Amino acid sequence: MRILICSISTALGGMERRIEAETKLLTRLGHPVFVATPRFIKLSQWQRDIKAAGGKYIYWRPYKFIERQHLAAPFRWLARLSIPMLRYYKIDLAHIALPWNFVGISLAYVLSTAKIPFVLGVHCKFDSKTLPKKSLPFAKQALRSLKGVYAVSAPVKDSFIRLYQDLIPAATPIDVIHNGIDIERFQPDAAARQALRKRLGFTEEHFVVMFCGRLHIHKRPMFALQVFAEFVKSHPQGRLLIVGDGSEITALKTQIDTLKLQDKVILTGQVADTTPYYQASDCYLSTSGDIEGYSLTTAEALASGIPAIVPNDDVFTSVYGASTAVQRCNPDVPAEWCQALLSVARLDAAARQLLSQSAQTFAQTHLSVEFMNQKLALFYENIASECSHSTPL
């Protein structure tokens, strides 16, 4: 089968990494994979990653007439003008990665018009905002060719059903398939840890708290800085390592100066490989807000052998609630987060080692890419059977 994976991406993040992993799996199973997104920062870097995974990046960008509420016939026709490209690449099946409520529904409309079956991958927890009533007939028409859905966590699945249950075909299968990570890649490495800590100016006495990801309001990096500012008052050897870039970077720098934390916070910007930064850290902080569907960076931290402190919400509880290396805190109470950090920072070496082993064990038994790939292969196999294609997955 010739498979198209498409989305309305705006940044290089967890959803794009999932697309990359899925491309690698499907090409390994023998299927040509094409990937299409709008332009976004770091796209050229990601295009190289897609190529390395065996896929081909193409420029298929139908007009977003439903998202923009441009529902008149000329705008629908404009979207349909992209169908010849689908014919050119002889697409048999498509996958639309949904980053937000109905962002990508125009892609579905074009695919259904072209009579190409497709699946949806749901990557964040939707809020209650629905489409205007005048859009609903077009949304139903767009979803005629939908054959299956997966969500990256159970709460994400629930949020999808809440919004889409009256729009999708009856009996559409909806699965939960967590993101997976390469466990071997994130193994602790004492030499790498020592080398990077030395380069960053950390000593063995420093307790390094890591925040990694897109510096966006939804990830709440300002809240992470607030928590650290309280923590370092009680633990002066604390250091904050912020890995990533984004729209909040200027506000972060300003607040770091205001709090006079210049000597205790390091901003690396976006890095090509985050692995050594996890290895150089002692604890991980994920402060993501309500739309987080699955914290991939938390999984990477646990695989790296460092404990994590995360929000006490339904997503983090469903994915990480069974791990003794993860503490969950009230998302809006900095004092809880500060106390959680202190509880880890004050552990002796033996207790930290046990916590590290617990983190790694949980990652190995719950979060590996092998588990994800097994479920994805079965998901696509079932879709192929439903579509009655002659080429098995």
Looking at residue 42, its pLDDT comes to: 85
Average pLDDT over residues 359-367: 96
Looking at residue 243, its pLDDT comes to: 96
Q: Are residues 220 and 311 in the same domain?
A: yes
Q: Are residues 229 and 362 in the same domain?
A: yes
Average pLDDT over residues 361-390: 90
Q: Are residues 188 and 322 in the same domain?
A: yes
- Cβ atoms within 10 Å, residue 132: 9
**307-323 confidence digits (pLDDT tens):** 999 999 999 999 999 99
Q: Are residues 204 and 157 in the same domain?
A: no
As for how many domains the chain has, the answer is 2
Q: Are residues 305 and 294 in the same domain?
A: yes
CATH classification of the domain holding 9 = 3.40.50.2000
Looking at residue 289, its pLDDT comes to: 84
Q: Are residues 70 and 55 in the same domain?
A: yes
Band (pLDDT 50/70/90 cuts) for residue 385 is: confident
**6-29 confidence digits (pLDDT tens):** 999 988 888 999 999 999 999 999
Whole-angstrom Cα distance, residue 214 to residue 211?
Answer: 10
Q: What is the largest CA-CA distance in the chain?
A: 68
- Asked, for residue 392, whether it belongs to a domain, the answer is no
Q: Which long-range contacts (CB under 8 A, 24 or more apart) does 321-325 make?
A: 322/362, 322/366, 323/358, 323/359, 323/362, 323/366, 324/355, 324/358, 324/362, 325/355, 325/356, 325/358, 325/359, 325/362
pTM for this predicted structure: 0.92
Q: Are residues 344 and 253 in the same domain?
A: yes
Whole-angstrom Cα distance, residue 81 to residue 75?
Answer: 10
Band (pLDDT 50/70/90 cuts) for residue 392 is: very low
**Which of 9-23, 150-164, 317-331 shows the lowest mean pLDDT across its residues?**
9-23
Q: Which domain holds residue 96?
A: 3-180+369-387
Looking at residue 390, its pLDDT comes to: 42
User: Which residue spans within the chain are E strands per DSSP?
Assistant: 3-7, 33-36, 56-57, 93-98, 118-122, 146-151, 174-176, 207-212, 238-243, 265-269, 283-285, 308-311, 326-329
Range 64-86 burial, b when 16+ CB lie within 10 A, else e: bbbbeeeeeeebbeebbebbebb
Instruction: Decide if pLDDT at 286 tops 90.
Output: yes
Looking at residue 391, its pLDDT comes to: 45
**Which of 63-67, 85-89, 186-190, 389-393 shows the lowest mean pLDDT across its residues?**
389-393
**246-273 confidence digits (pLDDT tens):** 999 999 999 999 999 999 999 999 898 9
